[in-house]
Amino acid sequence: MLGLLFIPLLPAMAQEPGRTVDDVLALYADKVQRRLQPRFLFADVDWPPRQVSLVAFKDTRLMELWALSDSGWQHIKDYRVRAMSGRKGPKLKEGDRQVPEGEYRIELLNPNSAYHLSMKLDYPNEFDRQQAQQDGRSNLGGDIFIHGGGVSSGCLAIGNTAAEELFVLAAMIGQDNVSVLITPRDYRFRPLQSVSPDAPAWVDDLHAKIADRLRLFPLADKR
């Protein structure tokens, strides 16, 4: 879900220190299962699933949850991204307030987030570092999270209920079984467009790769 711009914490958003992932599961797992299991059963996907993917669209501030079944990826649910900063285009440096673009993994589950619960992305990933070296860039930033609450700078804020669902799901199936695809727009029905004349030359190729990856998640399978 960038260097995270410091935002003063609201008292209601702070968590008691020392809470563990197991503590979060004890608090929310039953509730999350009651909400999500019927959706997985409707999509003919086992609960808990063996692998899920989150697909986030910058332009519409929508995040789709997909789960892998024997017949391919099945759409489970949509979430509204309540806050993100920046514009079309990947994150290039610390402090640019851009949400990165590309495919990422969950690096860390944070049960003590100031924004209820959070999941850290592995930005910068190998691709990001390679392009930065090619461009001669350094200080790429980091600490990119998908988190609860409704404010964010460089991360993706999805609200507390959604954060509970995705955090618990990731904890249940293992964070290595969760992928996150962040795209500037929905290339399943919208054409590729150049970002801007001054964008690095590799950005258009990145968006073409994202568009190709999106073919795994067909619109026709959204219920």
How is the chain split into domains, by residue range? 11-218
* CATH number, domain 11-218: 2.40.440.10
**Over its length of 223 residues, how does the chain's per-residue pLDDT go in tens digits?**
433 333 333 333 344 568 999 999 999 999 999 999 999 999 999 999 999 999 999 999 999 999 999 999 999 999 999 999 988 899 999 999 999 999 999 999 999 999 999 999 999 999 999 999 999 999 999 999 999 999 998 899 999 999 999 999 999 999 999 999 999 999 999 988 877 777 888 999 999 999 999 999 998 776 5
Give the residue numbers annotated as catalytic, written as ranges.
147, 155
Task: Tell me: cis bond preceding 197? Omega within 30 of 0 counts.
Answer: no
The alpha carbon of residue 184 and the mean position of all alpha carbons in its chain are separated, in whole angstroms, by 13
In this structure, the strands spanning 156-157 and 145-147 are parallel
Euclidean distance between CA atoms 187 and 3, whole angstroms = 27
Provide the Cα torsion 104, 62, 69, 107; round to 10°: 20
**Cα 29 to Cα 5, 21, 33, 56, distances in angstroms:** 31, 11, 6, 24
Q: Give the model's pLDDT for residue 153.
A: 86
